[in-house]
Amino acid sequence: MSEPILDALERALGQRPVKLRSLAGGCVGDVRCATMPDGSRVVVKSDESAAPRLDVEGAMLRDLRERGGLPTPRVLHAAPSLLVMEFIEGSPGLSAGAQRHCAELLAALHGVRGDRFGYAYDTLIGGLAQPNAPGDSWIEFFAERRLMHMADEAHRAGRLGGRTLERVRRFAARLEEWIDEPAHPSLLHGDAWSGNVLGAGDRVAAFIDPAIYHGHPEVELAFMTMFGGFDRAFFDRYHELRPIREGFFETRREVYIAYPLLVHVRLFGGGYTGSLQATLHRFGC
């Protein structure tokens, strides 16, 4: 961690850490657990790139806590290049009890209504821009501001070929064949895969690394199936609170998975491109 970042941390908290330990996770910047002179610990995330936006992550964490009632680390300082958060004991890999608690928290979050799809400001997913200009149609929003935006970004980065880009365009144009409009826009965490939910015993300790906006709750559920970590304990409890309509696991989940696949193609390329192409092939695109 550079001297300018340490100086900024000292100005923000009034003291300089006596120990720094690297933490895993996150796609943006450097993440450390900092032990302060009084023995307390905080999480320090720094980004010394040309266009840091850690202040957006801080705003999202606050919004999830204040608007959605989710347990998130308390934000102690948020600036574009420096984010300081409460340290929370917990780890990925939820017990059955913690999965049920997670279902209860997300079901309540999805009950928080927005006036339109999108959000009051553009957010981030994995450090990538996530445009949130509001719209009245979920299908149009998901097609334009999620699928085509990320496909165009992946193409510009040289990680998605022109032919596959056109296949995504055809897929996005046909979304109404497979998905529909929700009853209302719901507040979403936006990136609730298992690595972004920390558990402690039978409870969720914290949600981290959000990518919030108002959308369809089913896209949230689809994200949660992508890398495992959530099983019947989660989905059965969620279904009790907010029934999951028939056809989600068989069809609509596969449609929504295209977005996180595109995010991973843009970030990493490689085998994610093949997974995306398989999804497009399944839907005849």
Query: Could you give the percent of the chain with pLDDT greater than 90?
Result: 85
**Nearest to residue 87, comparing CAs of 18, 151, 21?**
21
Give the active site residues.
191
Structure confidence at residue 251 as a pLDDT band (50, 70, 90): very high
Query: Is pTM beyond 0.85 here?
Result: yes
- Mind listing the pLDDT tens digit for each residue in 10-31? 999 999 999 988 887 656 678 9
Domain ranges (residues) in the chain: 3-86, 96-282
The average confidence (pLDDT) of the chain is 94
84, 44 Cβ separation under 8 angstroms = yes
- pLDDT score at 26: 57
- Mind listing the pLDDT tens digit for each residue in 161-214? 999 999 999 999 999 999 999 999 999 999 999 899 999 999 999 999 999 999
Over residues 46-64, the mean pLDDT reads: 94
User: Is the pLDDT reported for residue 62 higher than 90?
Assistant: yes
- pLDDT score at 228: 85
The CATH code of the domain at 96-282 is 3.90.1200.10
Rounded Cα distance between 214 and 207, Å, is 17
Beta bridge partner(s), residue 43: 33, 85
102, 201 Cβ separation under 8 angstroms = no
- pLDDT score at 50: 85
CATH fold of the domain at 3-86: Phosphorylase Kinase; domain 1 (3.30.200)
- pLDDT score at 27: 61
